[in-house]
Amino acid sequence: MSADPQSVETVLVAGASGGTGREVLRILSSRVTVRALTRSPDKRSLLQSAGADEVVVDDLLAPDDLSRAIADVDAVVSTVGSSAADVVMSRSGPFVDGAGTRRLLEAATDAGIDAFVMESALGVGDDPASRLGSLFDAAIGPIQAAKAEAEQAIRAAPIRHTILRPGILTNGGRTDAVSVARPGARLWGAVSRADVARLLAAAPTTPAAADETFEVVATPRFRDRELAIEWSLPTSASAAGDAAGE
């Protein structure tokens, strides 16, 4: 599939009302048409102010019509996630990280969407993990297991994909200085939601990110383990034309 930055014109951001989701909206809003998916009708104004051109309300755990959210979309960026409180309420789930992501993936695959991008977490899966990844497993094991199931489904689906496993998420500013490595690199540390959002937004149009799973941290920086990747944010043909005319 084409990784031309101008081949992606409309992006669906799921979990858009979360911290990372809103950062993705802000990054993409001046570049492509952005559709936000949320389960909360009262978040519509918040998402529009963050950069969403369209807002679709639906619950991935009990969807009404995901085909409406997916219609005419080129790429899906999923930032959905559960909290530790969700584990306390129901250790057996279902969790949106797992069942919800798989429903979204199925809808995207059925619709022939070009790319699917998922925000996961360090420690997910059976790859060797740092102590931080192991701590995530111990603290929110059911959520980690749900994310692992979603990751497996994504890798098995006939769709270009990228999965990012960030460390501890912070509300710090975007630095564009992160360590990205394949699973098993045992990365640990923190990374801002803004930095993760940039990679999520760029994944569909970055050739080196196609069909890959990456660990991501910013502090500390692991220069001896990180991959050299040129991340390319999408720019629709109309936006590129406007920029050229300025």
pLDDT value at position 237?
53
Domain holding 135, by residue range, is: 5-245
Question: Strand (E) positions, the chain?
Answer: 10-14, 33-38, 54-57, 75-78, 115-119, 160-166, 168-170, 179-181, 190-192, 212-217
pLDDT value at position 244?
35
User: Which pairing describes strands 75-78 and 115-119: parallel, antiparallel, or unpaired?
Assistant: parallel
| Total domain count, the chain | 1
Phi, psi of 212 (to 5 degrees): -125, 155
pLDDT value at position 164?
98
Give the residue-averaged pLDDT of 18-30. Answer: 96
Q: What is the DSSP letter of 219?
A: B
CATH (domain of 136): 3.40.50.720
pLDDT value at position 148?
97
pLDDT value at position 82?
85
